[in-house]
Structure 1
Amino acid sequence: MRRIDVITISLAVFFGGGLLYLVFQAIGLDGLSAGVWSQALLVVVVLAWTSSYLFRVANKDMTYNQQIKDYEDAVLQKRLEEMTPEELRKLQEEIEKEQ
């Protein structure tokens, strides 16, 4: 996730909290209760967002990890393309022996 994405999401959460406050006031809650409920919902949203991030970190499903994997795959593909047919046959025989 890029910095601009984080800033955009943060602003959306901030303005969403203000909107929640106005919605709670519109449905009849007083200012204090509307503030408490909007803050409680914002805390739940932020905790869910943080837990989803921690889940992606734990599963190594981050952009950096994906970039490394893509780079390694590209290097291996390039090495395979550069191999001669003899080398490819030899490699295939080695793989078959291991299995």
Structure 2
Amino acid sequence: MRRIDAIGIGLGIFIAGGALYLGLQVAGLDSITAGIWSQVLLVGGVVGWLLTYLFRAVSGKMTYHQQVRDYENAVLEKRLEELSPEELEKLQAEIEAEKRAKETGK
């Protein structure tokens, strides 16, 4: 996230809080009650967003993790394409030998 994005999000939350406060006052709440409810809703929204962020970070479903997986797959594909037919056959034979060893080991 760029610095300007963080500033924009912060400004957006600030404006949303003010609009929510004014909306609650227009709906008939006094200024103290409108202030409390606007704060409760904004803090609840921010905490909810934080929980979804933490869930994505822990489960590895963030953009960064996906980019790393895509990069690793691209590197492996590139290396596989660069192998000669003899090297490819040797690699396939090694994989088959490992599969057989696992099956007999179980």
State if a TM-score over 0.5 links the two structures: yes
Letter in 2 for 1:76: L
Residue 56 of structure 1 and its aligned partner are, at CA, apart by 1.6
Letter in 1 for 2:94: E
Distance 2:4 2:77 in 1: 33
**Normalization by structure 1: what TM-score?**
0.86
Residue 72 of structure 1 and its aligned partner are, at CA, apart by 1.5
Residue 70 of structure 1 and its aligned partner are, at CA, apart by 2.2
Residue 3 of structure 1 and its aligned partner are, at CA, apart by 3.5
Pairing 1:7-86 to 2, within 5 Å after superposition: 7-86=7-86
Kindly tell me: are residues 98 and 3 of structure 1, through their superposed partners in 2, closer, same or farther at Cα, counting changes over 3 Å? farther
RMSD, aligned CA: 1.6
How many percent identity over aligned positions? 60
> Which structure has the larger Rg over C-alpha atoms?
2
Letter in 2 for 1:64: Y
How many residue pairs are counted as aligned between the two chains? 99
Residue 2 of structure 1 and its aligned partner are, at CA, apart by 3.7
CA deviation vs aligned residue, 1:1-60 (integer Å, no higher than 9, x gap): 443333322222111111111110111001111111000000001101111111122112
Letter in 1 for 2:22: L
Tell which deviates more after alignment, 76-85 or 51-60: 51-60
Q: Could you say which structure has the greater relative contact order, defined with CA pairs below 8 angstroms and 6 or more residues apart? A: 1
Q: Aligned to 1:56, what secondary structure does the other structure show?
A: helix
Pairing 1:83-94 to 2, within 5 Å after superposition: 83-94=83-94
**Normalization by structure 2: what TM-score?**
0.81
Does 1:95 pair with 2:95? yes
